[in-house]
Structure 1
Amino acid sequence: MASSLLIPCRDDTMPSTAPEDTDKPREFTLQAVVIGLLIGCLLCFANLSFGLQTGWISMMSLQSALIAFLVSRLLPTPMTAQEIIVVQTTAVATGTMPLAAGFVGILPALKILDEARDGSPPVTLSWIAAIGWSCSIAFFGVFLSPPLRKQVIVKEQLAFPSGTATAQLIAVLHKMPPPDTTVRRRVGFVALEEDETEHHQEDEQVDDTLAPDNVQSEGWHALSSSFAASGVLTLFAYFFPAIFSIPLFGPYLAREWLWTFTPSLAYVGQGIIMGFPTTLSMALGMVLGWGILSPIAKLSGWAPGPVGDMTNGARGWILWTSLAIMCADSFVSLLPVLGEYVVDLLPRRQAAVQIKEDYDSETEDRLVPNNWVIGGVLVSVILGSFLVWVVFGDDGIKPWATFLAFVLGGLLSVLGVRALGETDINPVSGLGKISQLFFAWIQPGNIVANIIAGGVAEAGAQQAGDLMQDLKTGHLIGASPRAQFFGQLLGSAVSIFVTASAYTLYNRAYVIPGPSFPAPTAYVWLSLARLLRDGELPQNSTIFMIAFAAFFALVSGLKTYTTQRQLWWAKWIPSGIAFAIGFLNTPSFTIARLIGGVVEQVYRTRYAKNKSDIRLIVIASGFVLGEGVVSVVSLMLKTSGVGVASCWGCVPGLCGGCP
């Protein structure tokens, strides 16, 4: 059974004057907002850099809460658990804007348009245009959050595993009673119920490990040391690029087949955060894509260009197989979510859960009023449609088409949020492709409109999903949804300017997409738009696309089935999305992440004191933030004309900054 909250009795004959009986805990405070924005800006820099390199960003929700707690212990008045929730919510809203606004995919895709082939010249946004585009899509998902919260968190009580794990950590750090993480019994799903005795035994084990004083002393040392190590290595690699381009298997494989190794501590940290099963899926995709399919395509003459060429090289050829895998995996994983949604609409099912659906522990003054939601959605859609038209003009996408993209984005957000709540995976890539398919029919032949519409739909689904994890954490801890809502709005508003400014600087300093920042997801967006426009596929790629799509449809179905029934081996079934990412990224990034995944597995199984041991997560967070922050320093050096110190040891064409 789930643990219950025990409230001590009070003598009603005594006057109730104690502050702890009458005062509400601090929540939306200036210090919480400022710290949340600072952490979020660090995450934003890191995610923009890593997203342009690999197409993968980290939400870093749990890590934001950990860093906030460490900072809190240095303040004269430590922050409450509810303030930590506001910090975390604000940080996530700020840090995920590079993906939500398409800076790692949509905008680079528009930059590489070919007028002769695509019917439209390349579109490069100025700083002010990037601000306008970001404003058009930054708040739509935020205003979708309150009604979706009521549906999936309060009524349906979906698990949201990452949000629940963060809530459990915050509860332990603040010595609060463990949150009730029981979820409702759904058709085909097993209830997540905890054994009370086992839970109390686990609490006794983590008290020493996660005591606030221990976390403060050990946490700051681990975070600062890992941050410094990653930052120093990143800065050193800027001046000596060969450090991040090691020909692990010899110069021939590095030069001709792109098999190099980037010993980036940030990618090792990301691998630790992802976990061994996910990084193993990526590594399997790397071996198949770059070790088997790439040589087949090259040696058979199907991809005659250089291996790394995305137009007529092997990398562009295996991209299509990757795209097929992602579409199949996303489609199959959404089917049970869609089926469950339809079942919930049946009158008999609604009556069965009516008692739970009508319950919300929050009072009206802590909820977001419905008129705010309705007004916010209308304003964000109307203003967003207008801003997109101003930025891209009639040749880009018509205002009525943008309006439809917002409507479709709202519908897809429901599916994305539900999938995230059930599986901890938000299939935004698949949802964006659904929008592209729809707009290939609405505005046929217009590649710019196709990409923009897909980006609008993806932004709503991604932002609503990520913010829902934080709302789940707040729901379990007892934080005000209204305070979190304000944090989301502020984080998104500030991130518009931070992300647009950083992206503009990157464009001035580097060729994007280019050797240093290949922006692999840009080619995914553009390739699908081109396929929908002219139907042309690379030579002999069709049979591989069909075969791998069919295989991973079965794999995804099996993974979904076993996950729903909580079978222990479900996590070892390959993830189709992670497998496909192994195709998109060159081996250099994937190898580093695999090392991180192996470290996580070994530490967790052999050295971790218990399931709540967070030392490795703190170190991984420092690795990620260290390189993300110092990458901004490297960007400034590049913009200022400070070049590399030596290209000694570089493999030609594979070292950023070297000819």
Structure 2
Amino acid sequence: MALRSSQRRDDARTTIDSVVSDSDSVSVSDPDTPKEFSLQAVFIGLLIGCLLCFANLSFGLQTGWISMMSLQSALIGFLISRLLPIPLTAQEIIVVQTTAVATGVRGFFSALFIPILCKTMPLAAGFVGILPALTLLDEARDGSPPINLTWIAAIGWSCAVAFFGVFLSPPIRKQVIVKEQLAFPSGTATAQLIAVLHKMPPPNTTLRQRVGYVAVEEEDTDIQRTQDETDEYESVQSEGWYALASSFAASGALTLIAYFFPAIFSIPLFGSYLAQKWLWTFTPSLAYVGQGIIMGFPTTLSMSLGMLLGWAILSPLAKLSGWAPGPVGDMTDGARGWILWTSLAIMCADSLVSLLPVIAEYVAGLLPQRGQAVHAKEDDDIETEERLVPNSWVVGGVLVSVIVGTFLVWIVFGNDGIKPWATLLGFLLGGLLSILGVRALGETDINPVSGLGKISQLFFAWIQPGNIVANIIAGGVAEAGAQQAGDLMQDLKTGHLIHASPRAQFFGQLIGSAVSIFVTTTAYSLYNRAYVIPGPSFPAPTAYVWLSLARLLRDGQLPQNSTIFMIVFAALFALISAVKTYTARRELWYSQWIPSGVAFAIGFLNTPSFTIARLIGGIIDHVYRTRYAKNKSDIRLIVVASGFVLGEGVVSVISLVLKTSGVGPISCWGCTPGLCGGCSA
């Protein structure tokens, strides 16, 4: 299977080369060249990105899990563009998607352990992990008082880490997308969607269209679209807006009702005793269902298995054995804080094992004989120089972003928080880790940021021992570059398949990153002013992961009897990860059903209320795909899922305004004590 996969990539490259050799080069100024970078595309991308911004911040603070939403951004951008006098081209939709993802995801992935879809820029600003972790510091225990950044300080921190990965992406693109042609499944799926919507040849099978070709002749049987694909396009045109608007309205209405009657989102589905004593409630959020649809059944199944082990077995065991004497939901001495360590061990083992073959291949590629063989079959980028990002921009941008970023971190946190040389090392480590993260993402669709983040924390515990603040901040800087570069690479893969200009995407990424600094910081400030973070409404579970590991590296103390469980489950999931990696690389059909360690561990971090709704979404997706979908490119369910996610995300802004204005719930009747956001009951 691996040989056939390699052969398909070689065939694709041969097809492109034949087109280039048989066709005259098309100038960027050619009037027949499709528009790529336009103000309309950037504006629509920023609009969608701002909606995603509030949605992702809300979901990230609740569950520690965020979707990059690149496919959904492209879909919504396409639907909006149909309202314009001149609809956007496929290449402009790429700019819409790239700008939206840069704006809506860039600020929220810090400290998230995201096994899928993402793409999204992760640790860039750390608003769902690093910053909440700093607010949890205890001066007596950690040697530093809690750190609560002002709005302007948060702007400075965001500026420090927002652009490093953007400037890293062009040289990495040339290696992993152009030369090695790694798969990047989510980026490829987005390219497939755009091809369907614009009646283009399927990008993974018929790469006969090059930029500058306005249309493809229908008489060419090699690239003629199937009737199913044509029907899909017509369906999206006629039904897309209705499905999106309906699902958006339903999700938004339910979210608003739940704000005034919080018990709706805290249903004691398994009885009052399990709800109050063991936190087994159900949140019927349509947005969570939509996220489950987007994640897919295998991932949500892994999360649910983790939920069952963590909350139905290990949590009661720790509580009843006296290892976690506090309230079950307490992250300090309760069962939730106790199972966190097993979750951390699983994430690290899974991520590190999945990295081993990537490291081995990278090292092998550096050997003289292997390097010569690879070089012999490499071809230059088919893009013209004026469509690529100049090397001078890359070098200058990396240097400026590192120097300015180091200075800004020093200004924000001071010399006592982290030394400038440690921040500089964080950027350098992030550059190295980005290579590993991008390669893993390109081959498996999983960016192992959990393992990479823990590597960075271990490194800084060694070079700056005893300083918890420095450990968290420098580790976040390193992880930011690695995750950011990986997420951007999915966008660049989409653009490569649709033949969009890398320079146009680069501009979109820069604009989206710049806007996201202010949108994200303002959104977080508003949430932080209206709610307690971490708190019942926004528990920010990944904040505890960062802080707990930093404390362990400083003090060396683990909760009672947690060590043996960490060792056992780390070893078990190291083996499972090895098997999953082996089968996935050989494209064996059952690899997707082998549990994902990172997704499994996320089931520990979140209370059952978050996971159950996502499992429902995963089941809906599986049933639809296997029984009702018209073809593999059927995107009707994705349209509905996108509406669910955006509906709750947008209405969360309304809820935020109501909360800030002093408008509270109408009734707290039926609320489970401590589990209803907005109620003190």
Distance 1:576 1:516, change over 3 A: same
Identify the residue that residue 39 of structure 1 maps to in structure 2.
48
2: CA distance between counterparts of 1:447 and 1:531? 10
Q: Find out whether 1:82 has 2:91 as its counterpart.
A: yes
Match of 2:34 in 1: 25
Moved more, 25-34 or 97-106: 97-106
Q: Are 1:312 and 2:333 an aligned pair?
A: yes
1:338 to 2:359 alignment: yes
Deviations 1:167-203 (A, max 9, x none): 12211221122224699xxxxxxxxxxxxxxx97994
Q: Distance in 1 between matches of 2:223 and 2:496?
A: 25
- Cα distance, 1:358 vs structure 2: 3.5
Cα gap change, 1:347/1:7 in structure 2, threshold over 3 Å: closer, same or farther?
Answer: closer
Q: CA RMSD in A?
A: 2.2
The equivalent of 2:193 in structure 1 is 169
Task: Quote the residue 2:445 is aligned against.
Answer: 424
One of 262, 268, 272 as aligned partner of 2:283: 262
Matched, 1:275 2:299: no
1:500 paired residue among 521, 525, 528: 521
**2:143 is matched with which residue: 110, 113, 119?**
119
1:375 is aligned, of 371, 396, 414, to 396
Q: Secondary structure at the match of 1:179?
A: coil
Q: Distance in 2 between matches of 1:559 and 1:311?
A: 34
Residue 193 of structure 1: aligned partner: none
Q: Give the TM-score normalised by structure 1.
A: 0.94
Question: What is the percentage of aligned positions where both structures have the same residue?
Answer: 82
How much has 1:351 moved relative to structure 2? 1.8
Letter in 2 for 1:177: P
Supply the AA of the counterpart residue of 2:413: F
Matched residue, 2:211? none
**In structure 2, what is the equivalent of residue 189 of structure 1?**
none
Where does residue 101 of structure 2 map in the other structure? 92
Instruction: Give 4+ residue runs of structure 1 displaced > 4 Å after superposition.
Output: 1-12, 19-22, 180-183, 199-203
Deviates more, 1:380-389 or 1:164-173: 164-173
User: Is the contact between residue 209 and residue 613 of structure 1 (CA under 8 Å) also seen in structure 2?
Assistant: no
Q: Distance in 2 between matches of 1:222 and 1:202?
A: 28
2:184 corresponds to: 160
Aligned to 1:187: none
2:66 partner SS: coil
Residue matched to 1:191? none
The alpha carbon displacement at 1:389 in A equals: 0.5
Change in CA separation of 1:473 and 1:88 when aligned onto 2, cut-off 3 Å: same
> How does the TM-score come out when normalised to structure 2?
0.91
| 2:229 corresponds to which of 199, 207, 217 | 207
Kindly state the Cα deviation for residue 266 of structure 1 after the two structures are TM-superposed.
0.3
Structure-1 separation of matches of 2:563 and 2:612 = 28
Conserved 8 A contact 1:325-1:577 = yes
Structure 2 equivalent of residue 66 of structure 1: 75
* Partner of residue 131 from structure 1, selected from 125, 143, 155: 155
Partner residue of 2:431 out of 400, 404, 410: 410
Judged with a 3 Å threshold, the aligned counterparts in structure 2 of structure 1 residues 402 and 348 are, in CA distance, closer, same or farther, namely: same
Give the whole-Å Cα distance in 1 for the aligned partners of 2:205 and 2:459: 38
- Closer/same/farther in 2, CA of residues 546 and 480 from structure 1, 3 Å limit: same
CA distance in 2, matches of 1:628, 1:169: 23
Structure 1 SS opposite 2:546? helix
Q: Measured at CA, do residues 11 and 570 of structure 1 come closer, stay the same or move farther in structure 2, by a change above 3 Å? A: closer
The equivalent of 2:120 in structure 1 is none
Give the direction of change, closer, same or farther, for the CA distance of 1:636–1:356 in structure 2 (3 Å limit): farther
Q: What does residue 117 of structure 2 align with? A: none
* 2:195 counterpart letter in structure 1: A
After superposition, the C-alpha distances for 1:519-549 in whole angstroms (9 at most, x for unaligned) are 0000000000000000000000000000000
CA–CA distance in 1 between the matches of 2:61 and 2:592?
Answer: 28
SS across alignment from 2:226:
helix
Identify if the C-alpha distance between structure 1 residues 145 and 445 changes in structure 2 by more than 3 Å, giving closer, same or farther.
same
How far off its partner does 1:359 sit?
1.7
- Give the structure 2 partner of residue 147 of structure 1: 171
Task: Return the offset for 1:10.
Answer: 12
Q: Is the 2:199–2:225 Cα contact (8 Å) retained in structure 1?
A: no
Q: 2:533 is matched with which residue?
A: 512
- How far apart are the structure 1 equivalents of 2:225 and 2:23? 30
User: How far is 1:353 from its partner?
Assistant: 2.3
| Cα distance in structure 2, aligned partners of 1:282 and 1:641 | 36
Q: Write the mapping of 1:241-640 to structure 2, written as runs, cut at 5 A.
A: 241-640=262-661
Deviation at 1:627, TM superposition (A): 0.5
* 1:58-78: CA deviation from partner (whole Å, max 9, x where unpaired): 101111111111111111001
Residue deviations 1:250-304 (CA, integer Å, cap 9, x gap):
0110000000000000000000000000000000000000000000000000000
Q: 1:413-453: CA deviations, max 9, x gaps?
A: 01001110010001112111100000001110000000001
Q: CA deviation at 1:214?
A: 2.5
Letter of the 1:209 partner, please give it. Answer: D
